């Protein structure tokens, strides 16, 4: 079934404009690193530059979700995309480390604000029977845009330089903003602003909602599994004697697995519940983490990486579908923000934890400890209904 027919019209248009924004986000993140290297920044300075991307979202994503619940998606999304555009303009026109630090904060914060608002809108506007299909389409778009952004940036950098790359990626943000304005011109925001609650909503109160808490736990475990692979797999490949090209191929096999499974998710959704799919995803990932450090040849590593891409690639759309099915309707945006905060914390903190543990006990032990945690998560998910 064509994607356009598989997803309701308004969520499909929102997915398109968010994917365009993600092209700019992924490309800007890639270009920030290369620009910093060209400016002869130290590894510590580059690490700080990358950590600044998700520091603000880690703290404020829940508030971003509340803004989306209260004001609808249009204003938060427009503000977020405008911040992303301003960051690209700053980085493109002022090639210095202070400007890159400021741009990094605005790139991460702006994109996350748009991401939370539009994710909430997709979940609110898509019929319940289309939730998994809508979020699998969005995840499929992210698979494409995550590759497109760095590829476009790399080509432009090689021919015209880093500043031109930032300005080229700015065009994707401007097109995304134009699509948002066009969509609102034809169909006003169907999520009307709500009055402010008499008392500020409590995060603890939301976490007491047992079905939602279970979704957040499993979502956090899947994020941990993803970040563990991204951090440890290249390290294991290099220590196993793989060349840079072979290590890149290893990461490509993981990406190919995520893309393939997202194409097939509607078939899985027709035959298995979200919880059953998530439990199998965690079990398969745990098994791959047991095998991966024992793989001594490239073909074995590629097979394990592809299998992990298959298992982890189905996690995001399934978790987002369950998030909207279990969250209180008036606080769905806050729930999306809470999940985004957990993912942002994972992306900021887990690489430090994995690095410290890998230095202390070895990379293989970290893989096996992660496998134990993920298998426990699979058993937890299997008991959910």
> Would 266 be classed as within a structural domain?
yes
Band (129; pLDDT cuts 50, 70, 90): low
Q: How many separate domains does the chain show?
A: 2
Average pLDDT in the chain: 81
Same domain, 128 and 236: no
pLDDT at residue number 376: 93
Cα 370 from Cα 375, distance rounded (Å): 9
Q: Are 176 and 15 a contacting pair, CB within 8 Å? A: no
Percent of the chain with pLDDT over 90: 20
pLDDT at residue number 5: 45
Least confident span in 291-305, 312-326, 337-351: 337-351
pLDDT at residue number 257: 85
> Would 198 be classed as within a structural domain?
no
> Would 24 be classed as within a structural domain?
yes
Q: Which of 193, 43, 196, 61 is nearest to 116 (CA)?
A: 61
Q: Are 22 and 149 a contacting pair, CB within 8 Å? A: yes
Average pLDDT for residues 45-66, to the nearest whole number?
Answer: 80
Its domain, for residue 173, covers 1-189
Q: Which of 66, 381, 338 is nearest to 208 (CA)?
A: 338
> Would 344 be classed as within a structural domain?
yes
List the structure tokens of 126.
């898509």
pLDDT at residue number 212: 84
Same domain, 232 and 104: no
Does residue 7 have a pLDDT over 70? Answer: no
Alpha carbon 349 to chain centroid, angstroms: 15
Q: Which of 202, 151, 207, 224 is nearest to 371 (CA)?
A: 224
pLDDT digits (tens, 9 = 90+) for 91-101: 999 989 999 99
Q: What is the DSSP string of 184-209?
A: HHHS--SS---PPPSSPPPHHHHHT-
Band (2; pLDDT cuts 50, 70, 90): very low
Please give the DSSP secondary-structure letter assigned to residue 241: T
Same domain, 110 and 232: no
Does residue 325 have a pLDDT over 90? Answer: no
Same domain, 217 and 117: no
Does residue 256 have a pLDDT over 50? Answer: yes
> Would 199 be classed as within a structural domain?
no
Average pLDDT for residues 30-41, to the nearest whole number?
Answer: 84
Same domain, 105 and 238: no
List the structure tokens of 267.
């078939």
Name the pTM for this structure: 0.72
Alpha carbon 30 to chain centroid, angstroms: 15
Of the three residues 189, 214, 247, the one that is the final residue of a domain is 189
Same domain, 217 and 248: yes
Same domain, 138 and 245: no
pLDDT at residue number 297: 85
pLDDT at residue number 174: 96
Same domain, 212 and 358: yes
Same domain, 47 and 144: yes
Same domain, 160 and 22: yes
> Would 95 be classed as within a structural domain?
yes
Of the three residues 160, 189, 218, the one that is the final residue of a domain is 189
> Would 302 be classed as within a structural domain?
yes
What's the CATH number where 324 sits?
A: 1.20.1250.20
Of the three residues 157, 189, 221, the one that is the final residue of a domain is 189
pLDDT digits (tens, 9 = 90+) for 162-202: 999 999 999 999 999 999 988 877 665 555 555 555 445 56
pLDDT at residue number 8: 56
* Per-residue three-class SS string for 163-174: HHHHHHHHHHHH
Average pLDDT for residues 218-235, to the nearest whole number?
Answer: 80
Between 290 and 362, the higher pLDDT residue: 290
pLDDT at residue number 15: 87
Please give the DSSP secondary-structure letter assigned to residue 2: -
Residue given tokens 């999940």 in the structure block: 339
Between 9 and 56, the higher pLDDT residue: 56
> Would 98 be classed as within a structural domain?
yes
Same domain, 118 and 226: no
What does the CA dihedral 76, 81, 86, 90 come to, rounded to 10 degrees?
130
Average pLDDT for residues 123-138, to the nearest whole number?
Answer: 74
Same domain, 236 and 380: yes
Average pLDDT for residues 295-299, to the nearest whole number?
Answer: 84
Does residue 53 have a pLDDT over 70? Answer: yes
Between 320 and 371, the higher pLDDT residue: 371
Percent of the chain with pLDDT over 70: 84
């Amino acid at each position: 079934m064509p994607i356009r027919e598989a997803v309701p019209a308004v969520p499909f248009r929102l997915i398109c404009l968010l994917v365009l924004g993600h092209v700019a986000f992924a490309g800007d993140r890639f270009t920030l690193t290369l620009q910093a290297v060209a400016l002869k920044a130290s590894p510590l300075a580059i690490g700080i530059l990358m950590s600044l991307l998700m520091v603000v979202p880690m703290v404020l994503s829940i508030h971003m979700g509340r803004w989306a619940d209260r004001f609808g998606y249009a204003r938060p999304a427009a503000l977020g995309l405008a911040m992303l555009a301003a960051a690209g303009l700053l980085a493109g026109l002022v090639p210095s480390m202070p400007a890159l630090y400021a741009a990094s904060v605005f790139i991460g914060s702006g994109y996350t604000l748009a991401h939370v608002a539009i994710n909430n809108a997709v979940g609110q506007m898509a019929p319940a029977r289309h939730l998994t299909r809508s979020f699998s389409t969005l995840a499929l778009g992210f698979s494409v845009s995550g590759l497109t952004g760095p590829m476009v940036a790399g080509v432009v950098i090689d021919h015209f330089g880093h500043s031109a790359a930032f300005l080229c990626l700015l065009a994707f943000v401007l097109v995304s903003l134009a699509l948002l304005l066009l969509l609102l011109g034809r169909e006003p925001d169907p999520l009307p602003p709500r009055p402010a609650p008499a008392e500020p909503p409590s995060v603890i109160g939301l976490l007491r909602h047992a079905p939602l808490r279970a979704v957040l736990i499993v979502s956090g475990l899947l994020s941990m599994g993803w970040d563990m692979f991204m951090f440890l797999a290249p390290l294991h490949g290099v220590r196993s004697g793989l060349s840079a090209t072979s290590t890149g191929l290893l990461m490509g096999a993981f990406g190919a697995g995520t893309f393939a499974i997202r194409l097939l998710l509607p078939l899985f959704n027709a035959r298995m519940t979200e919880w059953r799919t998530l439990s199998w995803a965690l079990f398969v990932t745990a098994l791959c983490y047991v095998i991966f450090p024992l793989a001594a040849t490239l073909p074995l590593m590629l097979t394990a990486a592809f299998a992990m891409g298959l298992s982890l690639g189905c996690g995001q759309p399934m978790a987002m579908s369950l998030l909207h099915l279990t969250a209180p309707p008036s606080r769905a945006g806050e729930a999306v923000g809470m999940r985004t905060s957990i993912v942002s914390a994972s992306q900021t903190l887990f690489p430090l934890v994995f690095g410290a543990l890998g230095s202390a006990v070895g990379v293989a032990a970290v893989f096996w400890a992660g496998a134990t945690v993920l298998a426990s998560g699979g058993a937890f998910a299997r008991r959910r209904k």
